[in-house]
Every structure is written in structure tokens, then in C-alpha cells.
Amino acid sequence: MKYSPHTDKDKKEMLAAIGASSAESLFEAIPEGLRAGKLDLPEGISELELKKSIHDKADKNYSTNKLISFLGGGAYEHHIPQVVESIISRGEFLTAYTPYQAEASQGTLQAIYEYQSLICELTGMDVANASMYDGASALAEAVLLAVRETGRKRVIFPESLHPEYRQVVRTYMSGYKVEFTEIPHAGGVYDEAVLKKEVDGDTACVIVQNPNFFGCIEHADRIESICHAKGALLIASVNPISLGVLRSPGEYNADIAVGEGQPLGIPLCYGGPYLGFFAVKEKHMRRMPGRVAGVTKDMDGKRGFVLTMQAREQHIRREKATSNICSNEGLMALAACVYLSSVGREGIKETARQNVMKSHYMKEKILKLSGFELFSDAPFFNEFVVRCGKDPEKIIGDLLKHGIMGGLPLGRFYPGMKNCMSICVTETKSKAEMDKFAEVLSKH
């Protein structure tokens, strides 16, 4: 049944109730030249019809619900326990705003505190903040911290760092007189010989992404030695799920650990909202951006939660601000907190183990096919790069016809890698799905 428009009698009664002589009188304050006039709107439809129309339009999109996805490159499909959605959908969390007042925000502050504690445990660092916008902005903030902390102006990063992260860092630092030095890769990982020559007394920081954009695992301990020998800070950008099997940044003495928290219970969702995690050694805490929630006791000795540190530009002069990020991804941080709490220490290890096992199974299947070879022999976590005998873009287009979202064509980011694509396999992929992927690839 469609909704009927109001009758003239209804309109008169409503105008009389509010003391208006006519509908036009409601708009007298708006200059006549700015009024839109009569809108030619279509007739209204029912809620049922509206829902069907929206669903029909949404069904035209590709998604991991319909297609088998082997995409990675910074955004990953992982299993999300139902409890994550159930908790973050609660009104008190979904609609909560920034926790300025501790007396009114104990639940939010506790959630942030627990999130920080879990990030510290995962990364092996001393202090974590309440979160940043995403992995790229977290890395940019880490570079800014290093430049301010050391007073130096050189930033060194590898060619294997995510290309979009590089762009964000350069944009972020465009107002500073910072020199960027890009180190080439050797077999998919840092060229350590070149790195050793480049790091000097003016180097503020060395960035290592582990696993890197090619999926390869870096020799982080050797990079740490080269970096700290010259007094530079080591920034580690890490995949949080990989820490179930790889050494944490704290274990190889990184000064700052950042990363994209999307793998921790956050769906792909068109690229956002995501979550940037940020953790440091205690000595760098005062220069860390954002806010830190802490636990304390009230005058009656009861446990309570407060904001123990807020480095925000609203509170101090802009030129002295630690960061221009003035909020945190509170709901996404809660999702990560619930995810880590629900899967636990052993769950993270098992998820990481399945990522390793399944991606290596996929690699072996593909290497048996004609026209494909491995880009690098370096160890990898859940992503690897293959060279293709045909244009990867055409291969990916054909895969879509078979219900598969193939790998990521690297020629979009590296002109010299037009015949390469990265392939990601997470715990969500079954043997049958991987075998189907290999079967379609075999026809190329």
C-alpha cells in the first residue's frame, strides 16, 4: 500500500497548529532568488519497494560473499566471529562520542584501555594509543614523531613499502624540510648493502614493512642493527595477524610499531572505515599522537578509567601540537579489541598458521602451471608475487567470469612489474576454492 499525500484540509490544520498563514510564509527568511521553487519529485513508494530497489542495486556489486577472493595488498578477508558485530552494534558503543568526561564514559574508556593493552601484547611494545585513522596515517605519524624526536631530516624507506603508504607519508611531510631516500629491493626484500651505505648521522628513521608489499618477510633484526648503529629510530609497519607466527616489533627492538588493524575483525567494506594501531617504547610516549586511556582508583578505592594523556591540537597551540589527528577510530578499535579477546592468543597463532599453510599450498599449485614463476625466493606469510606469461589484467578479467577475484596487478604501482601479480590466501579459503583458482589459471 502506498502512502497517500496530505489533503488540503490536513495542510490547513497543520499550518494553524503552528500559527502559520501559509506554507510559503515558512520560507520568508530565505531570499526569493535562492528558493528552489516547486520540486518535481516522483511519487513516493512503500518501504517494501524501497528495500527491494536498494537490494537490487547493491546486488550489482562484486563482493567476497559472491566471489572467491585472492586479493590482498593491504586489505584482507579474514573470518570475523559473530560476537564482534553483536557487540559493536550495541547502541551504547555504536553511537558513543569522544570520551571527554570520565564520569560519563567508563565503558568507552575501559574498551580503549583493553584495546591498548592487547595491542601492546601483540606488538611487544610498551605503550599504545587509542588508535589512528588507518595504517597509512599511522605510519606518517610515526615518521613525524621520529623527525621531532631526533631533530634529523632524513627518512629512509624501502621500495617494497606499500606504494600508497609512501604517498601518504610524502603528503603528510610536505610541509617539513624532509629528505626521502628509497632503498631498492634485492630479491623482494631490503637491499641491506645499500641500506648500510645510506644510513648516516642525519637519518631520523628507517621504515621496515614486515611482511612487505610483496608479501616477503624482511630480516628485521639486521635492519635494526644498521639503523640503531647510526642513532636512527626503527619504525616497523606490520600485519597484526602475522604476529601469530612472526617475531613482534618489540622482540627485534623497534622504536615504533604501526600497522593496519583491518585484519582484526573489521570487514573490507569498500576500504573503510579501517583502523591504524600505534605503539611505542615508553621513552617516546610523550611524543606519541592521539590519546591514552589508563586505569586508576577513585577516592573510595574503586577501579576507574581515565584519559591519562591527550596530545591534541584543540588543547594547545597549533604550532606545538603533536598531531593533527584529533580523534580516534573508537568503534573500529572496539571491534579489534573484541576480535582479539574472542580468538585469544592461541586463536591468533592458529589463524596465522593457516594463512601460512594455505598460501604455501597455493604457491605450489601455481608453480606447477606453465607460464607462472615465483618473483622472489624470500620467505612469505600469506602473500606472494608471481610473474605471468600473459598480461595479469587479462588473466584477472577472465577469472572474474569464473567467480574469482584474482590477484593484484603490480604494474599499477611498479612500471617494471607489468607482468606480475600478488596473490593472497587467508584462512577463509578452502582447498576446493584454491584448486578451482589453479584450474582456471592453468588455462592461461
Pick the CATH number of 82-340 from 3.40.640.10, 1.10.10.10, 3.40.50.9100, 3.40.50.2000: 3.40.640.10
Q: Are 207 and 143 in contact (CB under 8 A)?
A: yes
Q: Please give the DSSP secondary-structure letter assigned to residue 61.
A: S
C-alpha separations of 32 from 24, 93, 105 in Å:
11, 44, 47
The ranges of the chain annotated as CATH 3.40.640.10 are 82-340
Hunting for cell 576454492 — which residue is that? Answer: 433
pLDDT tens across 305-320, in order? 998 887 655 555 666 6
Reported as a single tens digit per residue, the pLDDT across 218-237 is: 999 999 999 999 999 999 99
Q: Report pTM.
A: 0.88
- Measured in degrees and rounded to the nearest 5, phi and psi for residue 109 equal -65, -40
Q: Omega into 273 within 30° of 0, i.e. cis?
A: yes
DSSP letter string, 289-325: -EEEEEEEE-TTS-EEEEEEEEE-TTTS-GGG-S-S-
pLDDT digits (tens, 9 = 90+) for 238-280: 999 999 999 999 999 999 999 999 999 999 988 889 999 999 9
**CATH match of 68-79+345-441 with 3.30.70.260:** no
The answer to whether 98 and 314 are in contact (CB under 8 A) is no
Q: Of 70, 18, 5, 100, which Cα lies nearest the Cα of 314? A: 100
**Contact predicate 138/132, CB 8 Å:** yes
DSSP label at residue 198: H
From first to last of its 444 residues, the chain has per-residue pLDDT tens of 444 556 778 888 899 999 998 888 888 889 988 887 777 778 888 999 999 999 999 888 888 988 999 999 999 999 999 999 999 999 888 887 766 677 778 888 999 999 999 999 999 999 999 999 999 999 999 999 999 999 999 999 999 999 999 999 999 999 888 999 999 999 999 999 999 999 999 999 999 999 999 999 999 999 999 999 999 999 999 999 999 999 999 999 999 999 999 999 999 988 889 999 999 999 999 899 888 999 999 899 999 999 888 765 555 566 667 777 767 889 999 999 999 999 999 999 999 999 999 999 999 999 999 999 999 999 999 999 999 999 999 999 999 999 999 999 999 999 999 999 999 999 999 999 999 999 999 987
* 3-state DSSP assignment of residue 5: coil
Residue pair 222/229 in contact (Cβ under 8 Å)? The answer is no
- Residue 67 in contact with residue 400, Cβ under 8 Å? yes
Query: Nearest to residue 425, comparing CAs of 386, 368, 398, 378?
Result: 386
Amino acid 98: pLDDT: 64
Region(s) of the chain under CATH 3.90.1150.10: 68-79+345-441
Question: Does residue 259 contact residue 288 with C-beta atoms inside 8 Å?
Answer: no
For 28-79, how does the pLDDT look when each residue is reduced to its tens digit (9 = 90+)? Answer: 889 988 887 777 778 888 999 999 999 999 888 888 988 999 999 999 999 9
Q: Could you give the angle at the alpha carbon of 161 between the alpha carbons of 344 and 359, nearest 5°?
A: 50
**pLDDT above 70 covers what percent of the chain?**
95
Q: What is the pLDDT of residue 156?
A: 98
- The CA-CA-CA angle for residues 360, 383, 73, to 5°, reads 165
User: 173 in the Ramachandran plot: left (φ > 0), alpha (ψ -120 to 50) or beta?
Assistant: alpha
- 330-367 helix and 106-123 helix, angle to the nearest 10 degrees: 30
